[in-house]
Structure 1
Amino acid sequence: MTQSKNVVIVDYRVGNTHSLERSLKRCGLSPVITSDPAVIEQADGVLMPGVGAFGPAMESLMETGASAAIRRFVDSGRPVLAICLGMQLLADEGEEGGHHRGLSIIPGRVRRLAPPQEHSKIPQIAWNEIMPVADDWRETVLDGLQGRQMYFLHSYVVDPARPEDRVAETDYMGDCFCAAYRSANVHGVQFHPELSAEAGQAVFRNFVRLIDETAQKNDI
Structure 2
Amino acid sequence: MKIISAILYFLSHHPGWSFPLLMIFFGLLWSWRKKTIYGLLVLLAPIANIFLAHMLNAWFLNKFGVKGTAVITQSEQTNSTLNDQYIYDYDVLVKTADGKDVLTGFSTMSAAIYPVRNSILIPNVDEPFLVKYIPGYEKNIVILSDESNYGIARKIMENQQEVQKAWIQYKASPQNKSFKDEYLQVLKKYVADSNNASEPDVINNYKTIIQQLEAE
TM-score, normalised via structure 1 length? 0.26
More strand by share: 1
**Larger C-alpha radius of gyration, 1 or 2?**
2
More helix as a share of residues: 2
Q: Which has the higher contact order (CA 8 A, sep 6+)?
A: 1
